Amino acid sequence: MSESNCAPLVAQGLWHTYEEHSALRGVDFTVEAGSVLGLIGRNGAGKSTLIRALLGLLVPSSGCALVLGEPALRLTDRIKERIAYVPQQPEAFPWLTATQMFAFVGRFFPRWDDAFVRATLSRWDVPTGRPLAKLSPGERQRVELIRALACRPDVLVLDEPAAALDPVARRDLLREVALRAGEDGCTVLFSTHIVSDLERVASQIALLHAGRLLLHCALDDTKERYARLWLPPRHAAAAPDAALSRRAHSDGSLTLVVGRGARGDWPPAVQLDGARLDALGLEDLFVEIAA
């Protein structure tokens, strides 16, 4: 088996269609061990479908996914116990209370961290005495985040985890994700449309738009290799072809997202008289590309 096939998460030509609608249109990527991949995209971009296909929770129309070297659709228990996943709307064990659920689930995970569960339950203000079905969606997701982290997984997949958390809990989660990846070598895939959360902890960024991966690179590269170029109307024709996005304004001027070439140089158009090159934060880059 080649080295890339042993990577924690691999997508190979994933396509998926719901009735008439194509949610994924050929996604290929590999998440390296110990990295924190931030999956960003607008609502409906296909993030949740991609995550479910990656973990073998849906059968893609074509293509395949591998988790820790095994086909996602035929994972063995040995691999499953090394993965933790928190969906956007958790539904498991509605009749159990959080305490009962942790006691039950913990038995299946050799590295279950009970001390973490107890410390985080009070810090994140989770009701432990009511059945999970009676909790609010936010409380339910906090329970699931605690469960996922307590397994001490090798692969942690979180689908839009930030919405359920207040700023203190959110910061706790980001800190936990950063340390798990940076110190324990845990691989994290984290989908969100709140890009500022990712900027703290992500090492890699993947931008999914209308079912296609438009960008997959190191987070630092998004800031150092890409910039916004504005060209006045008289130079609009000189715009470089290889732009990531292109927006024409009513006055004939043009805004583009351009990247550095192989030798680190910007396209020649940046030197034109009146052209302006601006650094881009991740959110700006996201908006320019996905708007």
Residue from 219, 256, 257, 275 touching other proteins (CB under 8 A): that is: 219
For other proteins, the closer of residues 36 and 150 by Cβ is 36
Residue whose C-alpha is closest to residue 77's, from 90, 67, 91: 67
**Closest distance of CB 86 from other proteins, Å:** 18
- Which positions ≥6 away from 48 have C-beta within 8 Å? 87, 88, 159, 160, 191
For other proteins, the closer of residues 171 and 249 by Cβ is 171
Rounded distance between C-alpha atoms, residue 32 and residue 80, angstroms = 18
Rounded distance between C-alpha atoms, residue 32 and residue 16, angstroms = 24
**Closest distance of CB 291 from other proteins, Å:** 18
Q: Name the helix (H) or strand (E) containing 245.
A: strand 245-248
Burial call 67-77: b when 16+ CB within 10 Å, e when fewer: bbebebeebee
Is the distance from CB of 130 to CB of 97 less than 8 angstroms? yes
Burial call 83-114: b when 16+ CB within 10 Å, e when fewer: bbbbbbebeebeebbbeebbeebeeebeebbe
Is residue 280 a contact residue for other proteins (CB under 8 A)?
Answer: yes
Is residue 32 a contact residue for other proteins (CB under 8 A)?
Answer: no
For other proteins, the closer of residues 70 and 283 by Cβ is 283
Candidates 42-50, 154-162, 245-253, 279-287: pick the segment binding other proteins (CB under 8 A): 279-287
Is residue 278 a contact residue for other proteins (CB under 8 A)?
Answer: yes
Residue from 9, 14, 36, 68 touching other proteins (CB under 8 A): that is: 36
- Indicate the DSSP class of residue 273: T
Q: Side chain identity at 16, as an amino acid letter?
A: H
Is residue 175 a contact residue for other proteins (CB under 8 A)?
Answer: yes
Q: How many residues bind other proteins (CB under 8 A)?
A: 27
Is residue 235 a contact residue for other proteins (CB under 8 A)?
Answer: no
Could you say which residues in the range 176-195 bind other proteins, by CB under 8 A?
A: 178-179, 181-183
Is residue 114 a contact residue for other proteins (CB under 8 A)?
Answer: no
Is residue 5 a contact residue for other proteins (CB under 8 A)?
Answer: no
Give the interface with other proteins as residue ranges (CB under 8 A).
34, 36, 171, 174-175, 178-179, 181-183, 196, 199-203, 219-220, 223-224, 278-284
